[in-house]
Chain A
Amino acid sequence: MTFMRDYQDMVFTTAARLTGNDAQAEDIAQEVFIKAHAHFPEVKAGSPGGWLKTVTTNLAINHLTRYRRRWHMFSDIWPAGDVEWGVEDTLLADVGAEQRRRLVDNALKHLPAHQRIPLVLYHFDELSYQEIAARLRVSLSKVKTDILRGRAALLKILESSGLVREVL
């Protein structure tokens, strides 16, 4: 159980940011640790953090892929909106780490799945556009557009909280 306590926050956070839903994230985290238990010698021998992160991401994407067609459809009809938003380098710099985390996690939950998922994979999991396109089985241009729109939407939500100001 020490093993689990060391990694449960990371696993849960990864799943929660991808799914935007705490209950689903807890289900996914449970599955991840059951898989880790089944492959424990292999996990322990390699890089446990990397293994857990990869499995969590895969399970979350698999879970979300069930809704693929629905979010494709919404992605196509979602208005492009104003993507010409700029932020200062000091974005949220005057806010404490915990409050910043709460603000960003809350803002992520408000993004539609087709924007949140590539955005999280790009900014948190540090995947490239190409890797995201391959993982989600969508075109590269769609990934770029969704990330662009997701960023703008995220900044708008943060801006509405009064912590980010529009610089354009």
Chain B
Amino acid sequence: MNNNDRNDRTLTRLLREIPARRAPATLELRVVNALQGGATGAARYGYKHWPLPARGACLALCIAFAVLTVYAEASLPSPALLIPPAWVDGAIVTAISLYSALFGLAALGYHTLYRPR
């Protein structure tokens, strides 16, 4: 019998005799809470699993925040006048491009390393 066969046999015997570990005391409570709705609530899942009113409210909030940001930027006093509008547009385009590139890279990384096949 070679070493591999002997290791196989010895480890098989050893490992099958090993007792189970004790589950954490918190497990039972977690399951009870989950079954009562806590951990299975919408917040645990992604946006597309949220209830329709929650999705609508979130979307409305995001739009309101974006509009508010644009108005705040437009109503800036004097310093804004010192910056040529073309620069502001360029900065916005650059920021969007960089954000898109970063998002693309992150998506590519996720796809390469984590995404289940």
Contact = CB atoms under 8 A, between A and B. Distances in A.
A87 B116 contact: no
A26 B3 contact: no
A155 B6 CA distance: 12
Given A87-B6, A91-B10, A155-B7, A101 B26 contact: no
A151 B11 contact: yes
B27 interface: yes
Interface residues of A, number: 49
Contacts of A62: 116
Interface string A84-100: 11111101100001101
B21 A101 contact: yes
Interface in A105-150: 105, 123-124, 126, 137, 148
A65 B116 contact: yes
Contact of A70 (B17, B26, B113): B113
B6 A9 contact: no
Given A30-B39, A33-B31, A34-B31, A101 B18 contact: yes
Interface residues of B, number: 37
Contact of B23 (A11, A70, A89): A11
Contacts of A58: none
B98 interface: no
B26 to A, nearest CB: 7
Contacts of A39: none
B112 interface: yes
B73 interface: no
Given A4-B31, A30-B34, A69 B112 contact: yes
Interface in B23-41: 23-24, 26-28, 30-32, 34-35, 39-40
A89 B13 CA distance: 9
Interface of B: 3-4, 6-24, 26-28, 30-32, 34-35, 39-40, 112-117
23 contacts: A1-B28, A8-B27, A9-B20, A11-B23, A12-B23, A12-B27, A13-B21, A13-B23, A30-B30, A30-B34, A37-B35, A65-B117, A70-B114, A84-B3, A86-B6, A86-B7, A87-B7, A91-B10, A98-B19, A100-B17, A104-B14, A151-B7, A155-B11
Given A12-B23, A97-B17, 8 more contacts: A8-B28, A16-B21, A30-B31, A88-B10, A97-B18, A98-B19, A123-B16, A151-B8
